[in-house]
Structure formats: structure tokens, C-alpha cells
Amino acid sequence: MEVDLLSGPERVPVSPVAPALEARRVSKVFVGRAGEATLALRDVGLEVQRGTFVSLIGPSGCGKSTLLRILGGLEQPSTGEVRSTTRQERGGLPAVAFVFQDYGLFPWLSVVDNVAFGLRMAGMGKRERHDRARAWLARMGLAGFERSYPEQLSGGMRQRLSLARAFVTDPEVLLMDEPMAALDAQTRLLLQEDLVRLWEETKKTVVLVTHSLDEALLLGDRVVVMTARPGRVKLDLPVGLPRPRNASSATGVAFSRMKADLWAALRDEVEKSLEHS
Amino acid sequence: MTGVAAEAGDAVDAVDAAVAVLRAAERRRHRLDLSLAVATPVSLLALWQAAADLHWVDPRIFTPPVEIARAAGQLISSGTLPSDLAATLARLVVGFVIGAAGGTAVGLLLGIARPLRAALSPLFTALYAIPQIALLPLLLVIFGVGETAKVLTVVAVTFFVLEINALSAVRHFDPRLVEAGRAYGASGAKMFRYVLLPGSLPAIFTGLRVSIALGLVVITATEFVASNNGLGFLVWNSWQLFEPDQMYVGMATIALLGVALTAVIAALERVAVPWVHRRSR
Ligand SMILES: Nc1ncnc2c1ncn2[C@@H]1O[C@H](COP(=O)(O)OP(=O)(O)O)[C@@H](O)[C@H]1O
Ligand SMILES: [Mg+2]
């Protein structure tokens, strides 16, 4: 079951269409203040085809966030390269949108201004950006909270706010870093359903980092398992569950079998990462 | 059916009643807080008055409040107090505005420009450690006994407080917010204008609150020794002429000025950084 199709540098893309995002032999080393070096990623290869949803799992500290940042251009790889075939800029809007682990909302901006932030940076006028932001807030069930500040919202609402901020820029690629990690189990279930629905409506190219095997399978077209640090791709599992999906997609034999496979691959790595720390 | 509805109605009424009781209790507690806050100083003044009247203390040194009030009335009608207040306020406000603007600008600049920071930050920190009032003799030598030297003592204290606060706000800026800003297209001047600056405002306002109080101390001390008007001069001169009633008027005015200026800064803060106050609610 452990197929490592994607990590080799020699791999020639089989798809006639170039992937939306591609990491080739990407390594990343961090040098700390005391001069100590941390190898976070080693020779990571990953292709994300246009319009697919890739879930990324791996033990804590294996470099998932780092990989996501590199894919989105917030960080440069130490070696290797990232290719992206996203249309470059559309009216100053970035082609890639992030949903951060702790949301990264600006406490000094009202809810509506947080959502409109990317549009504002792209030079869009106030009326238009607020209209668009309001539309997404309504879609996310946050109508009526436009003038609140993020700190006045609950965790689930902040999460939906950060999704609205990402979707309002109509990005081609959406990179999400453990967006549900801080939520309680019930809120998380609801938001997972929201995300499934949103994705099936919009068909963005998505990379989602998660710790939850259920979430990875429920949402993803593929689940990529990373090794303990330095992170590499260990397993790349296609998820054949039919769409549209909902909470009941997470029942059934096929789901259980895939979950068992994922855990088998992940378990060793989690143990390794515990030994090291 | 009606029974159930009536019961539900009763439950709602009962809840409303409970809410009303809790609200009334909270209002009572609030009124009590207020009356205690007023009662304490009023009783102390009454005690002071009684102690002076009964000669428990020497009324020539501890002028009773009624006498102080009379002195205040005289100083106001003669125009002395208003003109001293105006002189102090002008020095303080001019020095504060210059020092705050300069300190904030330099602090933010040092925060984003590493070589400048390396060159200047340790020097500024060392200079801040010198009590600014100790600069007064030097300033007097350089600028003479005019307004410039007095205003500059306030500039100095305000500048360093704001420089240090603004610098530290940028240095300890939440890297996740910088990253979020970058991800959504803020770079260069936009990063500064839309992320770093608004995010640093709470620390800047803390600096303003601290430095207005320090500025009042410094200008008072300056006027003690190097001025022939202003509230500091009023206090010092009254002491030298042994007119304690006027001295108390000067001290009380300085205290009230401090309270008023702090309230002005707090009001500005509520307008400029509304999110900080909503958070604590
Ligand atoms: N800016 C950085 N400076 C130094 N080390 C870093 C930095 N970012 C991440 N690391 C290190 O790189 C490794 C991978 O981090 P990360 O990508 O956040 O892991 P994950 O998201 O999988 O938990 C960790 O050991 C982390 O300490
Ligand atoms: Mg992470």
C-alpha cells in the first residue's frame, strides 16, 4: 500500500495538463539564532492538479506548515523548486489564499474589514470590497457581525471569518493549515460539512493540512502522509469516495479501510517524532 | 394548550423578574461604589478641616481646606492661577506633541530598519536611563533661561518613552499577522501602513499615557528652579514666601491637570484603538 509515486525527482508528469502547484525536491533548513540548523523538509515532491483537494497529514513538527508556506510563496525553499501554473495576478489579487492555523485575523479591523483586507490591498474601492465581503459573510452565516471585532467572536465564527477572507479574493488555490484544530468536535463537524459543500461548489485547488484522519479522508481527493522530520512524502493515497460527500461518507467499509491504511503509515512516523523530541 | 402557553408565559415572566432583580442589585452595587469613591476624599477633607480648626495640627502649615478654597478664589480672580496654568499647559503640550511624534516615528523606524536599530537603539536606551531632569542644567547652558530649555525637558522624556514603546511594538509584532498581511498582498509601505502601524497603536498609547504623567513631573520640577511663571513656580514660590495656602492651590491644580490630561489621552485611545476596549468587555 505504501506507494511513493510522487517524491522522486525523476518523475515525469503523466498528466497532459501541468499541475496547479508542484514542489520538486524541495528541502528547507532553518538556521536559529544560536546558529543551530533544523532540517524541516528533505526532498519533498508533490503535485497538486488543478481543481483537486489534497489533504496533508503527518506528525507534529514534520514540516507541514513549512511546506504549505513554500507552496504559497510565503517562504523560499533552501533547495529545489516550486512551480505554479496559476494565472499570475488578477487585478492585484494573489492567486493563492491562505487559511491559517490560528486564523491570523487582524484584531484592529472589524469583521467586514478583515474579509475585505485582500481586496483593499489590491486597490479595490470601499463600496465594492465591502459589498463583496458582506456577501461572503452572509454565505458563512456571519451576517450581522460586520462591525464586530474578531476577538468578540467565538472560535467557530473566527474560523468562518478566515474562510470568508480567503474565498472573497476568489483564489485559484486555497492553502489551509489545520483550520479546525482549535474547534470543539461539534463545531468542527459542521464546518467540515460547510467546507465539503463550498469546495464542491467552487472546485478550487486545495491543500489542507490536518491532524484528523477522518477530516483528511472526508474532504480530500488524495491524502498525502508525511514522515517525521525531516519531512518527506511517505504515502499518497487516492480517496475514491463518491461526491457529493457529507457526514455519512465517513461510514462504510471503504472509508474504514483507507483510515486503517493511513494510520498504519502515520503511526511509525508519530512514534519516531516522539522518540526524537 | 392554553395551560401550556400560560405556563410558558409564567416562566418568561419569572425569568424577566429575576433579570430585573439582578439588574437592580448591580445598580445598587454601582451606586455604592460611586458614593464610597466620593465619600473617602470628602471625609478626609472634613477630617483635615476639623484637625486644623481644633489645632490638632498646625493650621499655618496644614492650611485648612476652606482657607485653601478662599486662596484659590483669590488666585483665580487675580488671574494668577489661570496664567500659571496656561504657561504650564502650553510647555507640556508643545513638548509632549513634539516628543511623542518624534519618539513614535523614530521607534517605528528603528523597528523596521535593522542597521539603524543596531546603531542607535543601545544609545537611546542608555540615554533614557539618565533622568531627563538631570539634563536641565545642560539645556539651560545651551539655550538660556527661555522657553526652549523648559519645553525640551518634556520633549526628552516623551521622546524616549515613545521611542522605546514603538520600537518594542514592532520588534515583538505577532509574526503570524505579518505573514497573514503578506499572504493577502501587503508589502513594503502597505505592510507598514495597514499592519505594523495599526497593530502598534496599543503600545503607542500606553507610551502616551506613561509619558504625559512623566512630562507633568518634569515640567513641574523644571518650573521649580528655572521659571518665573507656571504651576511649578507657583508652588515653589509660595513655599519660599511661606504662603502655604497658595502652595496647596498650586499642588491641587497640578493634580487636577494630571487627571484631566490622562482622561484626554484615554478618550483619544478609545477612538483610535476601539478594538482593545471591546475585547475587555
Ligand atoms: N521560522 C522558523 N525558524 C526556525 N525553525 C522553524 C521555523 N519554522 C519552522 N521551524 C521548524 O521546522 C520544523 C517544522 O515546522 P512546521 O512546518 O511548523 O511543522 P508542522 O506544521 O508539521 O507541525 C519544526 O521543527 C520547527 O521548529
Ligand atoms: Mg503546523
Assess whether the C-beta atom of A9 lies below 6 angstroms from ligand 1. Answer: no
Distance of CA B131 to the CA centre of its chain: 19
Average the pLDDT over A46-73 and give the result. 95
Please state, for a pLDDT cut of 70, what percent of chain A lies above it.
Answer: 92
Closest residue in B to A113 (Cα) is B194
CA distance B185 to chain A (A): 6
Residue B2: the pLDDT is 56
A94, A100, A149 ranked by CB distance to B180: nearest: A100
Query: What is the A131 CA–ligand 2 centroid distance (Å)?
Result: 33
A98, A104, A149 ranked by CB distance to B275: nearest: A149
Cα gap A71→A82, rounded to integer Å = 7
Is residue B85 exposed (0-12), middle (13-18) or buried (19+ Cβ within 10 Å)? buried
- Here the cell at position B241 is 514666601
DSSP string for B11-72 = HHHHHHHHHHHHHHHHHHHHHHHHHHHHHHHHHHHHHHHHHHHTTSS-TTTS--HHHHHHHH
Residue A9: the pLDDT is 41
CA distance B224 to chain A (A): 43
Is B183 in contact with A74 (Cβ distance < 8 A)? yes
Is A108 in contact with B179 (Cβ distance < 8 A)? no
Residue B142 in this model has a pLDDT that exceeds 60: yes
End-to-end CA separation in angstroms for chain A? 28
Average the pLDDT over A11-15 and give the result. 45
Assess whether the C-beta atom of A65 lies below 6 angstroms from ligand 1. Answer: yes
Is A118 in contact with B185 (Cβ distance < 8 A)? yes
CB A56 within 8 A of CB A222: no
Strand partners, A208: A55, A176
Is B183 in contact with A120 (Cβ distance < 8 A)? no
Whose C-alpha lies nearest to ligand 1, atom 6? A30
Whether B114 and chain A come into contact, CB under 8 Å, resolves to no
Rounded to the nearest integer, the mean pLDDT of chain A is: 90
Cα gap B234→B44, rounded to integer Å = 25
Query: What is the A70 CA–ligand 1 centroid distance (Å)?
Result: 12
Express each pLDDT in A114-148 by its tens digit.
999 999 999 999 999 999 999 999 999 999 999 99
Does residue B280 or residue A182 have the better pLDDT? A182
What residue segments make up the domains of chain B, in order of their start? Answer: 1-62, 65-280
Cis status of the peptide bond prior to B175, with omega within 30 of 0: no
Residue A89: the pLDDT is 61
CB B207 within 8 A of CB B164: yes
Task: Specify the range with the lowest mean pLDDT, choosing from A223-237, B9-23, B72-86, B107-121.
Answer: B9-23
Average the pLDDT over A41-60 and give the result. 95
Residue A68 CA, closest ligand 1 atom number: 17
Does residue A8 or residue B90 have the better pLDDT? B90
- Here the cell at position B234 is 507657583
Express each pLDDT in B59-111 by its tens digit.
989 999 999 999 999 999 999 999 999 999 999 999 999 999 999 999 999 99
- Here the cell at position B10 is 409564567
Residue A210 in this model has a pLDDT that exceeds 70: yes
DSSP-assigned letter for residue B228? S
DSSP string for A214-244 = HHHHHH-SEEEEEPSSSB-EEEEEE----SS
> Which residues have their alpha-adjacent CB atom under 5 A from ion ligand 2?
A 65
Please state, for a pLDDT cut of 70, what percent of chain B lies above it.
Answer: 96
Residue A234: the pLDDT is 95
Query: What is the B225 CA–ligand 2 centroid distance (Å)?
Result: 61
Is A121 in contact with B275 (Cβ distance < 8 A)? no
ipTM above 0.90, yes or no: no
CB B248 within 8 A of CB B191: no
Please state, for a pLDDT cut of 90, what percent of chain B lies above it.
Answer: 86
What residue segments make up the domains of chain A, in order of their start? Answer: 107-170
Task: Specify the range with the lowest mean pLDDT, choosing from A172-181, A241-250, B110-119, B252-261.
Answer: A241-250
Average the pLDDT over A238-245 and give the result. 91
Residue A275: the pLDDT is 84
Pairing state of beta strands A53-57 and A205-209?
Answer: parallel
CB A8 within 8 A of CB A80: no
> Is the torsion defined by CA of B270, B271, B276, B278 positive or negative?
positive
H/E element holding B7? helix B2-53
DSSP-assigned letter for residue A106? -
Is A152 in contact with B279 (Cβ distance < 8 A)? yes
Residue B281 in this model has a pLDDT that exceeds 80: no
Cα gap B207→B220, rounded to integer Å = 20
What is the CATH T-level fold of the domain B65-280, as seen in this structure? MetI-like fold (1.10.3720)
Does residue B9 or residue A214 have the better pLDDT? A214
Spatial CB neighbours of B46, under 8 Å, sequence gap ≥ 6: none
- The structure's pTM equals 0.86
